[in-house]
Structure 1
């Protein structure tokens, strides 16, 4: 969420006379996931004022309809007189007949602790602001004050990017900044360090020890410093600090969500049970967004619309290039070995380049799909296995290709990102796709920039990864000895069959044989399954390229089809030296520059 703060100093001079909307939220019934919100809107100039709950949330692109968890709503004037309320739609309340002030009170049910929703229970009040507070668009430029009535009996404290007024009252210069300011209220552990005059905070809500918090914070520090190296500087955080709101508890839901001066990172994994290593990737991804998406921001998301789905064709860059850097930063920070990093590229790579969806959409159009896939919910089946590639993944593998291609020219993606930061991020000038295209032309030359965009952004062609990876001493191989079915299969508990749990992939052996999601394979060539056998091991006993008889059931009806197994199209990544080959000194020097290793 981009907020204009060029006028902030001047604005603060008039706080004493500015109109201020105020909220108070309390949590007496936290055991049943309820909060009570009270809001006051004074000095109103029009008789009719419209209030609403947001339908979206910063960092999300789909609709979430937060009004569904609001109930017991009462609207009064300054003297407590109930006012007339009209509901023009499910997420809006039109109020008239007030005396210049409108007071609203309602109950909120909140029980999902992640980056999109809110959760209230006796462990914490985890608040995503759009999911918590109603607002009036007409009053969006007003200052806001919010008081969090914390549960002192639970030793709750407040962590937020909102500036403190006093006690547990915080302020926002306008509605946009308020909506972009998630808040964690709990008995969290706080760690801080200074970088170039800016404070980096970790507010860690977990059930672990102080020692675990110390160890984890050292990892966070390394991530922050490694990402700073990409851009050469930290962003100019609006109030001089940035806060990680880390919530690692069993009742949370795994997520990460970037905001202007803070981020939510949540997981059910405790630091003592795998989270020390596995949760840090989300920290890496979300902090990179402090540059790429919060300040290097697509014009298509400016201003962010709280009343409709937000569509952007630039998510392959905003989310995808950020995803490319996620593990690369961990490697550079010494939190992941080069071997782990390189071999870990395979999963995302195979997902993207083996997808039938490449024939339908380029990266821009994949980005347009975000309102349908970004934590969106629907009840009807969809064919995403064949028609969609995540813009996170697609952009990530394109980031890899661009980085290695630039390095062959003596350039690199870090310096390109830095140039985009200087042109668009630092001055906060929103960009469009053509701006990125021109930026690459300016950085690497018109022929290079035009070629990259024409082949890989406007079209869905695949770069020559084998050659690019060889330049850094990495082998890209495609083994031909693993049979491939073309869908996810799970052995049934009774051992009498194997169920197809996803749509079969277009062009795969299962697809060509007419098999589909929900079918149950009874056997192949009348060979029974063995007790405890994995399906992939079962397939290995059959010859590829030879027609096989598949006995299966669909809707309870027994059927037979013919299927010819093919080799898996998956690739593997490995360091040359791990495969008995000796990379040249030039390859090793290029790898060192890429991974920043000794």
Structure 2
């Protein structure tokens, strides 16, 4: 969310028109909050109040209005006002005397980055999911009083500036909507980072059921992540109020998520630090903090201005989300949190998902980005064919980021310096970029021929870079498992001891060619019962490429037969070359160390 609000204007804003909210949590045990909003100095007879349909950082629609009830509106004298409902998302209030107070109850019970959650452990608030707003008053200052449960020892953590007590303020609607808030009995750690003589504070707020010692150890890794990512760009962003806040909830009732915001991020997980979270949750820290540069300030033009009334779409998510995903694990390696071996081998899963997907024949990375409103925590009741038509722009962009980084290194350049250039051109000045701008930026950095080749072959088309050569330059091997057999669909045991196909077979795979489909129940293979008690994948591994399986299966309670001819496994393995005895030259090792910033 773009925010250009000079701090020196704060004094004058105190006298400007201000909308006031307060939110209370007396019935938190039943996941309810009561919200009250007061809107003075109104000039029109009818004022429309809305619940947002979208949320900063998300690209799909989310119908937050469904969780609102018991709406009331009164004037300055407490007189009930007439309310119209022209559509599911708004309440039109008529006949006021210059001031309207609204009040409603919110049901909130999903603790992640998109929705809100209220219970007796916390009030975890995503602002668009919580507060109604008046679109015609979007430029007004906002004050909000969070009525904390003192009996539960609640405190407030947010990127909103403090007025006093539990009252905070925002310069306008957009900043307010982009400011998630955690209210709980949390712990805080913080440290200062200095850039060009200016100190900024990084706070880590953690609501969890663990110990202070666990938080201390985890915070050391958080600091390493912050500093590793700062090194990519050469500096931190200038946070609006000199502070960046991680809002982490690692509790059983949360939903796993991460959501970036301008000066803060939401981090939620059911995994405690003691139960695997110390290792597994740190990746979300890495990903979301990188967004403080890439997406929050280096921002696609398609997301500006953010529209709270519809889905928000951009063709650049392969860069905004995907390149961020590339740096997520890379920076954990550079920070010393994971080993080079673990980092390199960890690329394999994403690599196989992208390059073995038939979806590339339908959509390039730009068009995959356009799919975000349908896949970004979106819901649908009709079956879809995502296995064959969609590759996540997170994953697609991540492996393209790898290819671009290694390709630049062949030219004695690197992706870090390109990201710095994009940051200096578009991020620091907060000029939203287009795809054409990115291509020109790459041309300025690496030459027009290099940029045109990359964009023409891999962005506007769905070509696959020569990873074998690129990885070999840094002493990493790319190999396939062609000697192993491949079926082409996920099969799992059902309650009858038979095998049910649980995914759409991928186009061109043995299962697809044989006419098998999702939901088919395999009962007999080559005259014998389905291998009950054995994983189907393990059963297939015991066979040979070219073996024919005579499969008997049920579809819609009708018995059918087909022949499946096992094909070579298309999956790749990525590993440090020395792992399997290949000698790595000094030059390869030097290039690897420069890439991973290690000292082997």
TM-score by length of 1: 0.99
Which residues in structure 2 correspond to 1:444-483 (within 5 Å)?
444-483=446-485
Match of 2:278 among 271, 276, 279: 276
- Residue of structure 1 equivalent to 2:316: 314
Comparing 328-337 with 475-484, greater Cα deviation is found at 475-484
Question: Following the alignment from structure 1 to structure 2, what is the Cα–Cα distance between the partners of residues 514 and 9?
Answer: 65
SS in 2 for 1:226: helix
- Residue of structure 1 equivalent to 2:171: 173
Question: Following the alignment from structure 1 to structure 2, what is the Cα–Cα distance between the partners of residues 318 and 500?
Answer: 35
Match of 1:216 among 210, 215, 218: 218
Question: Following the alignment from structure 2 to structure 1, what is the Cα–Cα distance between the partners of residues 538 and 34?
Answer: 56
- Residue of structure 2 equivalent to 1:4: 4
Match of 1:373 among 372, 375, 386: 375
Question: Following the alignment from structure 1 to structure 2, what is the Cα–Cα distance between the partners of residues 13 and 32?
Answer: 40
Q: State the shift of 1:530 in Å.
A: 4.2
- Residue of structure 2 equivalent to 1:515: 516
Q: State the shift of 1:547 in Å.
A: 3.1
Confirm whether residue 335 of structure 1 aligns to residue 337 of structure 2.
yes
Confirm whether residue 580 of structure 1 aligns to residue 581 of structure 2.
yes
Tell me the C-alpha RMSD between the 2 structures. 0.9
- Residue of structure 2 equivalent to 1:72: 70
- Residue of structure 2 equivalent to 1:84: 82
Question: Following the alignment from structure 1 to structure 2, what is the Cα–Cα distance between the partners of residues 411 and 585?
Answer: 19
Q: State the shift of 1:533 in Å.
A: 1.1
Q: State the shift of 1:555 in Å.
A: 1.5
Question: Following the alignment from structure 2 to structure 1, what is the Cα–Cα distance between the partners of residues 525 and 451?
Answer: 51
SS in 1 for 2:553: strand
- Residue of structure 2 equivalent to 1:595: 596
- Given that residues 493 and 532 in structure 2 are in contact (C-alpha distance below 8 angstroms), is that contact kept between their aligned partners in structure 1? no
Q: State the shift of 1:13 in Å.
A: 3.0
Which residues in structure 2 correspond to 1:99-118 (within 5 Å)?
99-118=97-116
Match of 2:19 among 18, 21, 28: 21
Match of 1:121 among 119, 122, 129: 119
Q: State the shift of 1:560 in Å.
A: 0.6
Question: Following the alignment from structure 2 to structure 1, what is the Cα–Cα distance between the partners of residues 549 and 65?
Answer: 54
- Given that residues 522 and 530 in structure 2 are in contact (C-alpha distance below 8 angstroms), is that contact kept between their aligned partners in structure 1? no
Match of 2:30 among 29, 32, 38: 32
Q: State the shift of 1:494 in Å.
A: 4.2
Question: Following the alignment from structure 2 to structure 1, what is the Cα–Cα distance between the partners of residues 37 and 19?
Answer: 7
- Given that residues 63 and 371 in structure 1 are in contact (C-alpha distance below 8 angstroms), is that contact kept between their aligned partners in structure 2? yes
- Given that residues 20 and 38 in structure 2 are in contact (C-alpha distance below 8 angstroms), is that contact kept between their aligned partners in structure 1? yes
Q: State the shift of 1:563 in Å.
A: 1.1
- Residue of structure 2 equivalent to 1:505: 506
Match of 1:405 among 398, 401, 407: 407
Confirm whether residue 139 of structure 1 aligns to residue 131 of structure 2.
no
- Given that residues 484 and 545 in structure 2 are in contact (C-alpha distance below 8 angstroms), is that contact kept between their aligned partners in structure 1? no
SS in 1 for 2:12: coil
Shift of the 209–10 alpha-carbon distance from structure 1 to 2, 3 Å rule, reads: closer
- Residue of structure 2 equivalent to 1:394: 396
- Residue of structure 2 equivalent to 1:97: 95
SS in 2 for 1:201: strand
Question: Following the alignment from structure 1 to structure 2, what is the Cα–Cα distance between the partners of residues 9 and 361?
Answer: 45
Q: State the shift of 1:15 in Å.
A: 2.1
Question: Following the alignment from structure 2 to structure 1, what is the Cα–Cα distance between the partners of residues 14 and 215?
Answer: 41
Question: Following the alignment from structure 2 to structure 1, what is the Cα–Cα distance between the partners of residues 58 and 89?
Answer: 18
Comparing 216-225 with 535-544, greater Cα deviation is found at 535-544
Unmatched 5+ residue regions in structure 2?
A: none
Question: Following the alignment from structure 1 to structure 2, what is the Cα–Cα distance between the partners of residues 531 and 360?
Answer: 38
Question: Following the alignment from structure 2 to structure 1, what is the Cα–Cα distance between the partners of residues 64 and 549?
Answer: 52
Q: State the shift of 1:492 in Å.
A: 2.6
- Given that residues 75 and 83 in structure 1 are in contact (C-alpha distance below 8 angstroms), is that contact kept between their aligned partners in structure 2? yes
Q: State the shift of 1:534 in Å.
A: 1.2
- Given that residues 484 and 544 in structure 2 are in contact (C-alpha distance below 8 angstroms), is that contact kept between their aligned partners in structure 1? no
Q: State the shift of 1:531 in Å.
A: 4.6
Q: State the shift of 1:553 in Å.
A: 1.0
Q: State the shift of 1:225 in Å.
A: 0.3
- Given that residues 146 and 169 in structure 1 are in contact (C-alpha distance below 8 angstroms), is that contact kept between their aligned partners in structure 2? yes
Comparing 521-530 with 240-249, greater Cα deviation is found at 521-530
- Residue of structure 1 equivalent to 2:554: 553
SS in 1 for 2:464: coil
- Residue of structure 1 equivalent to 2:543: 542
SS in 2 for 1:24: strand
Q: State the shift of 1:559 in Å.
A: 1.1
Q: State the shift of 1:84 in Å.
A: 1.0
Comparing 13-22 with 369-378, greater Cα deviation is found at 13-22
| Total equivalences in the alignment | 595
CA offset digits 1:427-463 (Å, max 9, x no partner):
1010000000000000000000000000000000000
- Residue of structure 2 equivalent to 1:562: 563
**Moved >3 Å (runs of 4+):** 527-531
- Given that residues 260 and 290 in structure 1 are in contact (C-alpha distance below 8 angstroms), is that contact kept between their aligned partners in structure 2? yes
Question: Following the alignment from structure 1 to structure 2, what is the Cα–Cα distance between the partners of residues 204 and 540?
Answer: 45
- Given that residues 252 and 266 in structure 1 are in contact (C-alpha distance below 8 angstroms), is that contact kept between their aligned partners in structure 2? yes
SS in 2 for 1:17: coil
SS in 2 for 1:537: helix
Q: State the shift of 1:262 in Å.
A: 0.1
- Given that residues 130 and 179 in structure 1 are in contact (C-alpha distance below 8 angstroms), is that contact kept between their aligned partners in structure 2? yes
Question: Following the alignment from structure 1 to structure 2, what is the Cα–Cα distance between the partners of residues 255 and 267?
Answer: 7
Q: State the shift of 1:529 in Å.
A: 4.0
SS in 1 for 2:219: helix
Question: Following the alignment from structure 2 to structure 1, what is the Cα–Cα distance between the partners of residues 571 and 541?
Answer: 16
Comparing 536-545 with 551-560, greater Cα deviation is found at 536-545
CA offset digits 1:485-511 (Å, max 9, x no partner):
11211123443x111011111000000
- Residue of structure 1 equivalent to 2:526: 525
- Given that residues 529 and 538 in structure 1 are in contact (C-alpha distance below 8 angstroms), is that contact kept between their aligned partners in structure 2? no
- Given that residues 474 and 574 in structure 1 are in contact (C-alpha distance below 8 angstroms), is that contact kept between their aligned partners in structure 2? yes
- Residue of structure 1 equivalent to 2:346: 344
Unmatched 5+ residue regions in structure 1?
A: none
- Given that residues 112 and 252 in structure 1 are in contact (C-alpha distance below 8 angstroms), is that contact kept between their aligned partners in structure 2? yes
CA offset digits 1:206-230 (Å, max 9, x no partner):
0000000101100100000000000
Question: Following the alignment from structure 2 to structure 1, what is the Cα–Cα distance between the partners of residues 148 and 484?
Answer: 57
Question: Following the alignment from structure 1 to structure 2, what is the Cα–Cα distance between the partners of residues 448 and 58?
Answer: 34
Question: Following the alignment from structure 1 to structure 2, what is the Cα–Cα distance between the partners of residues 543 and 272?
Answer: 43
- Residue of structure 1 equivalent to 2:242: 240
- Residue of structure 1 equivalent to 2:266: 264
CA offset digits 1:140-189 (Å, max 9, x no partner):
00000000000000000000000000000000000000000000000001
